Amino acid sequence: MYQHKQYAWAILALILWIGTFVGMAFYLMGSDGPMLLFAAILAVCAFLFHGLTVRVDEQGVEWFFGPGIAKKRLAFSEIKSVAVVSNSFRHGVGIRITHDGWVYTANGFAAVAIELEDGTFYRVGSNEAEQLAEAINKHLPEPSLEPSSELSAGQEA
């Protein structure tokens, strides 16, 4: 079983930066209801999106943010191919859909591209992209090297 958690330093830094302004407002203006609500929302966001966990077990691969937000699970039978890729700035941080498919990333540019049998693509960010791809590939069937029956029949003719 493979499991790795990558912390979302960019998300946490942004929340901390916004939190400093909330803290200054508390100090200068005193606390009030809306400001307390906003501070609570920041704390909840920090908890829910503090990191991206990826697991590979005997049944498949799954990933999720924080305690289990936006969980996605794929069976190995659904996966066509896996490749280590590099995300760009346009892929961003968090969860989004791009022309490359669904992107789940917490930090950095390294990722694993997963192509499904139905043509859907996922990019899962990981600072251990090579190890993650290897852990998934261990469970995928090896491509057949035997010639197909059509090719064999065509060669005999």
pLDDT of 112 strictly over 80? yes
Could you tell me if 41 and 15 are in contact, meaning their C-beta atoms sit under 8 angstroms apart? no
Domains and CATH numbers, the chain: 2-137 (2.30.29.30)
Residues 47-81 pLDDT 10s? 999 999 999 999 999 999 999 999 999 999 999 99
Amino acid (1-letter code) at residue 132: L
Residues 78-99 pLDDT 10s? 999 999 999 998 888 889 999 9
Mean pLDDT score, 92-114:
92
The residue ranking higher by pLDDT, 32 or 62, is: 62
End-to-end alpha-carbon separation of the chain, Å? 49
| pLDDT attached to residue 151 | 46
pLDDT of 133 strictly over 90? yes
Task: Compute the distance between CA of residue 132 and CA of residue 123 in angstroms, rounded to an integer.
Answer: 12
| Element (DSSP H or E) covering residue 7 | strand 2-7
